[in-house]
Amino acid sequence: MAKRSKKIEVVARPRGRGRKKRTGVLSYYKFSKGGRVAGRIIYPQQPDGRRPTEYLPGAYESDEMMAAYNRSMGHWLTHKTLPPWVAEKTRRAKPPSVRKVLKVGKTVAQVCEQFIEHEKSMQNKSAEEIRNCVYAFAPLVKLYGDEPAVELGAGELIQWQRHCREDRGNSADYINGNAGRIVRAFNHAAELGDLPRKQVAELQLVKRLSPYTPDGEPEREPVRAVYRDDVEATLEYLPEAAADLVRVMLGCGARAGELVRMPADELQEIEPEVWAWFPSAHKTSKRSKNAKKRPRSIVFGPPEIAIIAKRLGPYQIQQERTIGAPVVRIVPDQLPPHNLVFRKPNYTGNNAHRSGRPWDRNSFRQAIHRACKKAGVEPWSPHQMRHAACSELYNSGIAIADVMQMLGHTTMATTENYITPDLSGLVKLAKVRK
């Protein structure tokens, strides 16, 4: 057994500022593994960044261990290099785990872009829904866009909710809807094999924000029907193209996003003085289980037909032969620009480039708000006209099931939220009790 008077540790890098490297005998260290106490030598850091470790055989400070230690130290002190039996030994390569394989995959920004491209390829997705997805993904990409998508968990989604609530000022209902879009984006990536299913399940468990304040009051006032007087006062300050769109929407109760993209060559005459449009893709076409049983139908009466005919110009009525009931189509002599019935008016000056372009829901709402400001009335939105049309039909005695079909709702509970009943029903009951 070799006699050791003092242990001297070799340090690969100088310790402290200005200290030089020291050379000498390497020390061995005690360790225990699996109930066995043995010794090991930790060599200095090598140029490739490794710090090799040699595990000595035998029990701690036994003859076998000290013989192996003297052998290694003899080579180190003589050649100042790693012993060949240590330098040639390489660690067995372990197969990478699933998390490490996925970690080198797509980032959060790439998952969002991939889902947006998927939504654009779907025929039943409107441009408004694509914009909603872009708006929902923007703060998520800002916070975690460059990070691996596999590392996005419930904590990051909660932080996104807080950012939308405090910095953006979004309502709870709007944040909950956007959270569903984020979950669908990650679910789509999981279907493609880019993310584990367990991660999507974790994101789905994030608690939805409550639409009520701590005092129990609703976070925002519910949408109410717009008054007819306010609509009539606003029409005087709207462009003719926008005023026609308001009158048609108030008459048929359709959504603004539906009418602004109504093609001019898809109108049909189902009865004399009754036109209809059957959109192939609408808001609930994919979400509703009964979408195929109850397709969307938008019906126009004589007042709306007069406005639409003015926007179309000269047209002809042609009957097509089909299996079953014949189809009577409205065929314009000349298709309007963009093949849309409603388009923006002709502007002059700086806005001349927008003349004749298609409306969208935001530009239509902004035009109404500008007209409300000029008319001196409280601003109202196009969605309030659907509430007004629903309330007027219900209060006039139309069955709620027919009103539900006109609005394109899939449940009667949704239609009930649109109705603002008046006192006509109570007056009838009072007259009955004599």
Task: Please count the structural domains in the chain.
Answer: 3
What's the CATH number where 185 sits? Answer: 1.10.150.130
Q: What pLDDT does residue 285 have?
A: 57
Q: Containing domain of residue 341, as a range?
A: 228-425
Question: What's the farthest any 2 CA atoms get from each other in the chain?
Answer: 122
| SS3 readout for 296-343 | CCEEECHHHHHHHHHHHCCEEEEEECCCCCCEEEEEECCCCHHHECCE
Q: What are the start-end ranges of the H helices in 145-239?
A: 154-163, 172-191, 197-204, 228-235
CB contact set of 330 (below 8 Å; sequence gap of 6+):
267, 268, 269, 275, 312, 315, 316, 317
| 316 exposure class (CB count in 10 Å sphere: 0-12, 13-18, 19+) | exposed
- Residues 387, 253: one domain? yes
- Residues 273, 383: one domain? yes
Q: What pLDDT does residue 95 have?
A: 55
- Residues 63, 117: one domain? no
- H/E stretch holding 424 reads helix 424-432
- Residues 243, 371: one domain? yes
Q: What pLDDT does residue 97 have?
A: 52
Q: What pLDDT does residue 235 have?
A: 92
- Residues 111, 194: one domain? yes
Please check whether residue 256 lies inside any domain of the structure: yes
Among 301, 298, 328, 299, residue whose Cα is nearest residue 316: 328
Q: What pLDDT does residue 93 have?
A: 54
Please check whether residue 97 lies inside any domain of the structure: no
Do residues 385 and 250 touch, judged by C-beta distance below 8 A?
yes
Q: What pLDDT does residue 335 have?
A: 86
Please check whether residue 4 lies inside any domain of the structure: no
Distances (CA, A) of 268 to 139, 244, 246, 273, 281: 44, 20, 21, 11, 17
- Residues 179, 298: one domain? no
- How many other CB atoms are found less than 10 A from the CB of residue 297? 13
Please check whether residue 215 lies inside any domain of the structure: no
Please check whether residue 343 lies inside any domain of the structure: yes
- Residues 136, 163: one domain? yes
Buried b (16+ CB within 10 A) or exposed e, 376-397: ebeebbbbbbbbbbbbbbbeee
- Residues 124, 70: one domain? no
Q: What pLDDT does residue 6 have?
A: 45
Please check whether residue 418 lies inside any domain of the structure: yes
- Residues 165, 250: one domain? no
Among 194, 178, 72, residue whose Cα is nearest residue 131: 178
Distances (CA, A) of 168 to 175, 205, 222, 294: 10, 23, 20, 38
Number of H helices, E strands in the chain: 17, 8
What's the CATH number where 268 sits? Answer: 1.10.443.10
- Residues 325, 405: one domain? yes
- Residues 421, 321: one domain? yes
What are the mean pLDDT values of the chain's consecutive 10-residue runs (434 residues total)? 45 39 67 78 78 84 87 84 78 52 72 91 76 90 90 91 88 90 93 90 90 78 86 92 92 88 90 89 56 74 93 88 79 86 83 81 88 92 90 87 87 87 74 70
Please check whether residue 21 lies inside any domain of the structure: no
- Residues 144, 179: one domain? yes
Please check whether residue 9 lies inside any domain of the structure: no
Is the model's pTM score more than 0.85? Answer: no
Q: What pLDDT does residue 17 have?
A: 41
